[in-house]
Every structure is written in structure tokens, then in C-alpha cells.
Amino acid sequence: MAAGRGRDEAGTAARILDVAERLVQVRGFNGFSYADIAAELQITKAALHYHFASKAGLGEALIARYADRFMAALASPGTADGTASAKLDAYAGLYLQVLRNRKMCLCGMLAAEYQTLPQPMQDAVIRFFDQNESWLDSVLEQGRADGSLHFAGSARDTARMIVGGLEGAMLIARPYGDIARFQAAAANLLAGLTPGAGQPALSSPDPATAQPA
């Protein structure tokens, strides 16, 4: 009985996170309330508070889960074992996958609301972007070492350019409802790191191995 109850509670918590994540990616963190989640799941607000005592706690859990999935996708064999250029293409593909689902990067949305977020959430958003920059830094150094990537300045600065470029491209593509706009911007951004290689064919990752959205 206790094991069954534990599974039910874990399932409810996961469903709460799923709904809250989608609402953040569509409306922003300040654009929904516990009442919205309760209505969609047909549960009481008391049940929500049982699993997540505060909206701030729910927000921290959302970021942690999203960051774990994002980094797990980057560590998957199909990505981790590739060339530097293939890794960059896979990275951009994660953003494309989110946009194809008519959503925005969770932490990109939260960054737009950064000043209104509780301090623990602010810290978690920064950690997410720091993790992304560190991963890109290592990929860029790999490409520089084997001669497949060319860029001026430090790998860290270039990593920041990539993150900012992809987040910005998502933001601008959204009001147009134009995924091709994002694809063109992302492909041109990455092509600038591989002179002479032509424009990469940007595609979203295999959903069987990567589900960051």
C-alpha cells in the first residue's frame, strides 16, 4: 500500500511539473498561478501545496529537472561521441525541438523575468547558462584543437555568443511563428565557426534519445 501511494504521489508531482513547465514556456513564470495548474489537473490547490509548498519551490524544481534533461541530452552517445561541428549542430537542434513544440527555452523565459524571481531561482537560472557555456567551451576547444572550428578570441566568449544568439533567435522567431527564421539564424551562426564547410543542415535531435523540451 505504501509503495503504491508513493508511486501515485510521484506521478502527481511529475504531472504538476509537466503542466507548470509548459505554462512557463508559453506564458512565463509570472503568467500562471497554482489555480491554473489545479484546474488543468483537476486537483485541489491544497494538493499542489502538498507536493510543492510554494511557487518558488516549484520553480526551483522546474529548473533542476529541465537542466538535468538538457545536459543528459548533450551527454547522450549520439551527441557526446560526435565531432565538434556535429555537437554544435545537436546543441542548436535542442532549441529547435523546443520551438517546434511552440514553446520557448524554459530558462530563456525565466531570464526575461529574472528581476522578479526569488533569489534561489535566479541562482538556478544562472547555473543553467553556466553549464551550457562550459559544455560549449569544451566543444569549441575540441574543434580548435583538431582544426575543424575557427573563431577569434576565447572559447568562453564564443560559447556565450552561441547561447545568446540561439536564445535571441528563438525570441525573434516566436512572434512571427516562423521556425525557418530560427533555423536560418542558427545555421548562419554555426557556419561562421566552420569557414569553407558550407551551411550546416540544422535539424532537431532524435526524440528517442533527447527530450529536453
Mind listing the pLDDT tens digit for each residue in 119-139?
Answer: 999 999 999 999 999 999 999
Q: What is the per-residue pLDDT for 78? A: 83
Please report which confidence band the pLDDT of residue 12 belongs to, taking 50, 70 and 90 as the band edges: very high
Q: At residue 94, does pLDDT exceed 80?
A: yes
Q: What is the per-residue pLDDT for 207? A: 38
Mind listing the pLDDT tens digit for each residue in 52-64?
Answer: 999 999 999 999 9
Q: What is the per-residue pLDDT for 110? A: 97
User: Rounded distance, CA 137 to CA 134, Å?
Assistant: 5
The structure's pTM equals 0.86
Give the percent of the chain with pLDDT over 90.
83
Q: At residue 169, does pLDDT exceed 50?
A: yes
- Range list of H helices, 28-83: 34-41, 45-51, 55-75, 77-80
| Contact (Cβ atoms closer than 8 angstroms) between residue 116 and residue 30 | yes
Q: At residue 6, does pLDDT exceed 70?
A: no
User: Rounded distance, CA 49 to CA 51, Å?
Assistant: 5
Please report which confidence band the pLDDT of residue 3 belongs to, taking 50, 70 and 90 as the band edges: very low
Question: Mean pLDDT score of the chain, rounded to an integer?
Answer: 90
For the segment(s) 60-191, the CATH number from 3.40.50.2000, 1.10.10.60, 2.60.120.580, 1.10.357.10 is 1.10.357.10
Give the percent of the chain with pLDDT over 70.
87
Least confidently predicted of 105-119, 122-136, 186-200:
186-200
Q: At residue 1, does pLDDT exceed 80?
A: no
CA-based Rg of the chain, rounded to a whole angstrom? 19
Determine the average pLDDT of the residues in 97-113.
95
Q: At residue 91, does pLDDT exceed 60?
A: yes
Angle between helices 55-75 and 2-27 (to 10 degrees): 90
Mind listing the pLDDT tens digit for each residue in 67-84?
Answer: 999 999 999 988 888 999
| Contact (Cβ atoms closer than 8 angstroms) between residue 135 and residue 87 | no
User: Rounded distance, CA 80 to CA 137, Å?
Assistant: 14
- The residue ranges of every structural domain in the chain are 60-191
DSSP 113-150: TGGGS-HHHHHHHHHHHHHHHHHHHHHHHHHHHHTS--
